[in-house]
Amino acid sequence: MPIEVDKYVKTPLPSWAEEPDYVLHGTGPYGDKVVREQLWMKRIGEGVYELRCVPMFLYGLAYGDLVTRDDGEALRVVEPSGRSAFRVFWSVPCDDREMFERQVGDRNGRVVWYSSRLVGVDAEKGKTDDLEEWFEQQQRAGTFEWEVSKR
């Protein structure tokens, strides 16, 4: 029986990403919804793909992870990339994208914009303390909210 999907999304290809050669759909829970997300990949071998984007809605995945997909479109990490993924949400559109990107970059993160109110952030696993501390400061100040997609 097919999974009933509530939302379909196309994840943007980051400007800094290595060139993908394949598009794969992954399906999973996001809040009380089921999301089907189109993801940019590089085919590595029979049924194995390297993630070339930062998922905006699916949890447990990060840029560079090697994944396989089951019949139900759930993605399974077979080799982690050593990267972490975060999401940042604004209640109103971000008014200074350049400043945000600079602040994240100064803390060893890379940004990909989904919209003016939602971004994905990629960072090297184990080197995210400064970034997460800054996220927390911004959240306490009411600037934005954030969450971990994969640590």
Cβ neighbors of 117 (< 8 A, separation 6 or more) are 89, 90, 91, 92, 93, 94
For the chain, the distance separating the N- and C-terminal CA atoms, rounded to the nearest angstrom, is: 33
Distance of CA 109 to the CA centre of its chain: 12
**Residue 72 pLDDT > 90:** no
**Residue 113 pLDDT > 50:** yes
Q: For residue range 28-59, list pLDDT tens digits in order.
A: 888 898 999 999 999 999 999 999 999 999 99
What is 83-150's CATH number, 3.40.50, 3.30.70, 3.30.160, 1.10.1740?
3.30.70
Cβ neighbors of 116 (< 8 A, separation 6 or more) are 90, 93, 94, 97
25-to-11, 28, 90, 110 alpha-carbon distances in Å: 10, 10, 26, 23
CATH code 3.30.70 region(s) in the chain: 83-150
Mean pLDDT of 63-80: 90
Write the DSSP symbol of residue 92. S
**Residue 2 pLDDT > 60:** no
| Alpha helices (H) along the chain | 97-106, 129-140
pLDDT > 70: percent of the chain: 97
Query: In the chain, what's the furthest Cα-to-Cα distance?
Result: 48
pLDDT score, position 1: 46
Q: Residue 110's closest CA among 79, 137, 83?
A: 83
Whether 34 contacts 3, CB under 8 Å: yes
pTM: 0.92
